[in-house]
Structure 1
Amino acid sequence: MVCVCFLVDQKRVMRRSKPVAGMCSRCHGGAWVADMQTVTRFCYIPFYYKSWKAVVCSLCGSILKSYNT
């Protein structure tokens, strides 16, 4: 019996962003609201996309809050 294992990875991409009022609780940087997209790839071929909105810190890049669209 032969078992073949393929590489599967997931990548987050920021499509658009604009500044909003607020600060990051971790580093006190400015906050941005962004349209995010998660791409899941199987053997380097993308097969699943998910779009969502998130409030992201502009300094450290952490996701402060996320919203499903």
Structure 2
Amino acid sequence: MCLVFVCDEDREVLGAQQMPGACPVCGGVVTNLHVRSSWRFCFIPLCFRSYGDLACNRCGTRLKQI
């Protein structure tokens, strides 16, 4: 029996902008990332989604999804 991985999610960062304030975890700089993600099934794109995401530059913690 063979199990093949046929689903995949691809994320692409379109842009980044520094935000005021600091990370509550480590005190690093917070960045607003403009992200585009797409779900693929057998290399066929099914869904595209664009969203904003706040993340810390130092520790990489995702703070909030806009």
Length-normalised TM-score, structure 2: 0.76
**Paired letter, 1:47:** L
Provide the aligned length of Structure 1 versus Structure 2.
64
C-alpha displacement of 1:6 = 5.7
**Change over 3 Å in CA distance of 1:51–1:34 after alignment to 2:** same
CA distance in 2, matches of 1:56, 1:32: 5
Q: 1:19 to 1:48 in 2, by over 3 A?
A: same
Contact 1:14 1:35 in 2 (8 A): yes
4+ residue runs of structure 1 moved beyond 3 angstroms? none
User: Does the aligned pair in 2 maintain the 1:40–1:47 contact within 8 Å?
Assistant: yes
Residue in structure 1 matched with residue 32 of structure 2 by the alignment: 33
Quick one: percent identity of the two aligned structures?
Answer: 29
TM-score, with structure 1 as normaliser: 0.73
In the alignment, structure 1 segments of 5+ residues that lack a partner are: none
Gaps of 5+ in 2: none
Q: Using the alignment, how far apart are the partners of 1:11 and 1:29 within structure 2? A: 27
Q: 1:62 to 1:11 in 2, by over 3 A?
A: farther
